[in-house]
Amino acid sequence: MRAASAAPGALSRNPDAAAQFGVLRERFFQVRIATSALRQPFTHLIPTRKHMTITINGAPVELPGDPRVSLLDLLREHLHLFGAKKGCNQGACGACTVLVDGERVLSCLALAVQYEGHEVTTVEGLAPQGDLHPLQKAFVEHDGFQCGYCTPGQICSAVGMVHELRQGVPSHVTADLCTERIALSHDELRERMSGNVCRCGAYNGIVAAISETFESFETFEKEPA
């Protein structure tokens, strides 16, 4: 602080330093102007997203003009849907999991423009307004969360997992890759949900809630192609 407040006085006592300072400041602004001029010819290459839409929880939404916006940022920053969480922002925790056309997707790793014309479902859109999805109720009953940070991702991921089972998608622990019926065994559940990390360690409740919700269709028959 002292050095900064002494600087103007020092400059006024030293004309050479003052002149140098003036030149440096001028160069700084010249460089700023030059680089912004360089950028301008490229701005027309950035396409607008007018009339390109994505469906979020049943409602059409216009995609942002900036093609670099991730699906997660579109949800949280643009639409203020704060269910999907930004945990690691690099695909390692699963907190940002949402469903795209029923399949689970890590929204932090996806660009919003990739999903033009697709249907995105977040935890807010899983159940009709004012109601809870059966899996949400089971999470409450089984203490499937503590801080709740990972919970929206866990719930969307579990719903997506069931979709995968119905599609006959095998996992690393599926013994028979040709089977028509995949059971939601303890191992299958743990393997398929392993991308969703819970820092509170509420795994027992999470597994119990998912098992109870989907136990009625414990064995999933492959959907016809």
> Which residues lie near ligand FES (CB under 6 A)?
86-89, 91-96, 106, 108, 145-151, 198-200, 202
Instruction: Indicate the residue among 108 and 210 with the shorter CB distance to ligand FES.
Output: 108
Q: Minimum distance between the CB of residue 171 and ligand FES, rounded to whole angstroms? A: 19
Q: Least CB distance from residue 140 to ligand FES, whole Å? A: 12
Nearer to ligand FES, 56 or 93 (CB): 93
Nearer to ligand FES, 23 or 147 (CB): 147
Q: Which two tokens stand for residue 9?
A: 């006085």
Q: Which residue's CB is nearer to ligand FES, number 145 or number 214?
A: 145
CB of 149 to ligand FES, least distance (A): 4
Would you say 53 or 89 has its CB closer to ligand FES?
89
Tell me the closest approach of the beta carbon of residue 214 to ligand FES, in angstroms: 20
Q: What phi and psi values does residue 99 have, to the nearest 5 degrees? A: -110, 135
Tell me how far, at minimum, the Cβ of 170 lies from ligand FES, in Å.
Answer: 23
Distance CA 36, CA 153 (A): 41
For residues 82 and 18, the answer to whether their CB atoms sit within 8 Å is no
